[in-house]
Amino acid sequence: MSEINRPFVLGIGGTTRADSTTEKALRVSLEAAKQHGAQVHMLCGADLEFPMYAPHLKDRTEKARAFLAQLSRCDGLIIASPSYHGSISGLIKNAIDYIEDLRESDRVYLDDLPVGVIGCGAGWQGATQAVSHLRTMVHALRGWPTPMGAVLNSSTPLFNEQGVCVDAGAMGQLKLVGEQVVQFASMKMRQPLAVAS
């Protein structure tokens, strides 16, 4: 598959702590996307440390501009968030808020974009709520959440010291998220929506 025909999948997520469980999970999904023919890029942790989103301000930091540029050109997106107090983290929510800057772009917000979501929490309830909240936000931004959303319970061992996923169930979920994003992105690239004249 030539570079020009390969879908570009962007992954965003993690925490301010480098090599967090959420970051490791995102890496697994992106690797699966890569194995299925996608070009991939990851922005996590420090890459997403933007000032609090203020729609009335027009100046954006270099990191925020880089994030929006990558988002504007991607064919698929994977968002991974830890669960903080029954929802997603402030870091990820703030990055999602910056998508408002794409309201007048060629592709408004996440319009028609396949989006995989991953929630990590120290228990099933928090991780499930993170996935649910991410799906709701993706819908609000006109994106298409993939059928599979990965729910990871970090209270059980998921990764070894080398960052390899050692939980077969978690690995299956994460790989399927990456695969589905590529599958739907590839279908859309082959069959763009017809525009009525």
Q: Is residue 89 part of a domain?
A: yes
Q: Is residue 196 part of a domain?
A: no
**Least confident segment among 92-106, 109-123, 181-195:** 181-195
Q: How many structural domains does the chain have? A: 1
| pLDDT value at residue 189 | 84
Say if CB 76 and CB 184 are below 8 A apart: yes
Range of the domain at 171: 3-190
Q: Is residue 73 part of a domain?
A: yes
Strands 114-121 and 87-88: unpaired
Q: Is residue 195 part of a domain?
A: no
Q: Is residue 164 part of a domain?
A: yes
Q: Is residue 197 part of a domain?
A: no
> Which 8-state DSSP code applies to residue 149?
-
CATH of residue 112's domain is 3.40.50.360
| pLDDT value at residue 196 | 52
Q: Which amino acid is at 12?
A: I
Task: Please state whether 192 falls in left (phi above 0), alpha (psi between -120 and 50) or beta.
Answer: beta
What are 43-75's pLDDT values in tens digits? 999 999 999 999 999 899 999 999 999 999 999
What are 157-189's pLDDT values in tens digits? 999 988 899 999 999 999 999 999 999 999 988
Cβ partners under 8 Å of residue 183, min gap 6: 36
What are 138-152's pLDDT values in tens digits? 999 999 999 999 999
Cβ partners under 8 Å of residue 171, min gap 6: 28, 165
Q: Is residue 44 part of a domain?
A: yes
**Packing angle of the helix pair 21-35, 168-190 (nearest 10 deg):** 50
Residue 1 has pLDDT above 50, yes or no: no
Q: Is residue 56 part of a domain?
A: yes
- Residues 89 and 85: their CA atoms lie apart, in Å, by 8
Q: Quick one: tokens of 108? A: 């408004």
